[in-house]
Amino acid sequence: MIKTDILIIGAGPTGLFAVFEAGLLQLKCHLIDALPQAGGQCSEIYPKKPIYDIPGFPEVLAGELVDNLMEQIKPFQPGFTLGERAETIEKLNDGSFVVTTNRGTKHYAPIVAIAGGLGSFEPRKPLLENLTKFEDKGIAYIIKDPEVYRDKKIVIAGGGDSALDWSIFLADIAAEVTLVHRRNEFRGALDSVEKVQQLKNEGKINLITPAEVIKLNGSDRLESVIIRKTSNAAENITLEVDNFIPLFGLSPKLGPIGDWGLEIEKNAIKVDNTLDYQTNIPGIYAIGDVNTYPGKLKLILCGFHEATLMCQSAYQRIYPDKKYVMKYTTVGGITGFDGSKKEAPKAVVKAID
């Protein structure tokens, strides 16, 4: 079991900055995130978009902001459970919590801080009859182990980076790769688009556009799909396949956290904004976009503030008998758990002859 002081659910900017503020108080953090990388929306949805309202940064790319935060929290050695979704929470007799992920990883902490943003990112599923029937029986939305597709006939649907990248990758592994997209244009890195073009010319990827998968056939497992070409001469193509991988991106869902007994309003968790952003369950806090209170603004800079106050309150819960005085980093410097020390250089005091 992973043990920590503050278990942070969600590794977006708010969750990451909480690690820094906790570190100043010598509290250790561990983060859980459903995505395979840290950064939340900033990395997943808009890494290349500039943000203009981070104090002190006239302009910073969302991806750069995440890189900077990772650098800033490095001395405090946060732990990460990535690619797993926080599923259940159990309150122990001593008031602490055990949070278990969908893969069964258990985390123990006296404090839980939910920094879940809009929720965990779940694959967007196309509206097709029998879709759920064939899930794990030929249909998958996430590619965990590409080896599963060795020598198989697969069809991929989608027009973004993941559809392009996986088509390229699987072209070498699968027996047959068909890429279906509703338009002739793809939205992805130029390299990927050109590579798919090349593989198509070489006959390694079968490209069908503009088209969409409209029907799934099979008795027990997926056996074939019907693809409708939507160009001028509309036609239906029946394709025998072993696997269908719809890659239509991800959309956030509040998910299992919604069933933890927390007070929910407008798809967000109600917190006490007059004090410390604690939820209706003592010891569980909610910070950043995931919370709501009168006057709430879903801004990264507000999440940073909320994270800071949350850490102070968490410290008092963990050490009720200790008296803590806030220290400026300009005065106290930063002492990392890795033994590193950063502090302001001493002023020179020297007489002038």
Can you give the binding site for other proteins, defined by CB under 8 A? 41, 45-46, 49, 118, 124, 126-127, 158-160, 181-183, 185, 187, 248-249, 251-252, 254, 266-268
For residue 31, is it left (φ>0), alpha (ψ between -120 and 50) or beta? beta
Residue 352 CB, shortest distance to other proteins, in Å, is 56
CB 10, CB 114: distance < 8 Å: yes
In order, the DSSP letters of 237-257 are EEEE-SEEEE---EEEE-GGG
Residue 297 CB, shortest distance to other proteins, in Å, is 12
Residue 248 CB, shortest distance to other proteins, in Å, is 5
Residue 118 CB, shortest distance to other proteins, in Å, is 6
Residue 100 CB, shortest distance to other proteins, in Å, is 25
Please identify, using beta-carbon distances, which residue of 181 and 195 lies nearer to other proteins.
Answer: 181
Burial of 24 (0-12, 13-18, 19+ CB in 10 A): buried
Please identify, using beta-carbon distances, which residue of 187 and 327 lies nearer to other proteins.
Answer: 187
Residue 97 CB, shortest distance to other proteins, in Å, is 25
Residue 283 CB, shortest distance to other proteins, in Å, is 25
Please identify, using beta-carbon distances, which residue of 2 and 45 lies nearer to other proteins.
Answer: 45
Cα separation of the two ends of the chain: 64
Please identify, using beta-carbon distances, which residue of 200 and 298 lies nearer to other proteins.
Answer: 298
Strands 224-229 and 235-240 come out as antiparallel
Strands 79-82 and 106-109 come out as unpaired
CA distance 157 to 146: 16
Backbone angles phi, psi at 254, to 5 degrees: -60, -40
Please identify, using beta-carbon distances, which residue of 183 and 327 lies nearer to other proteins.
Answer: 183
CA distance 65 to 17: 11
Residue 254 CB, shortest distance to other proteins, in Å, is 7
CA distance 208 to 254: 35
CA distance 176 to 301: 48
Q: Write down the residue that tokens 């997926």 correspond to.
A: 222
Please identify, using beta-carbon distances, which residue of 110 and 119 lies nearer to other proteins.
Answer: 119
Residue 92 CB, shortest distance to other proteins, in Å, is 31
Please identify, using beta-carbon distances, which residue of 138 and 252 lies nearer to other proteins.
Answer: 252
CB 135, CB 222: distance < 8 Å: no
Please identify, using beta-carbon distances, which residue of 14 and 313 lies nearer to other proteins.
Answer: 14
Please identify, using beta-carbon distances, which residue of 49 and 137 lies nearer to other proteins.
Answer: 49
Helix, strand, coil % (nearest 5) of the chain?
25, 30, 45
Nearest to 80 by CA among 5, 23, 30, 20: 30
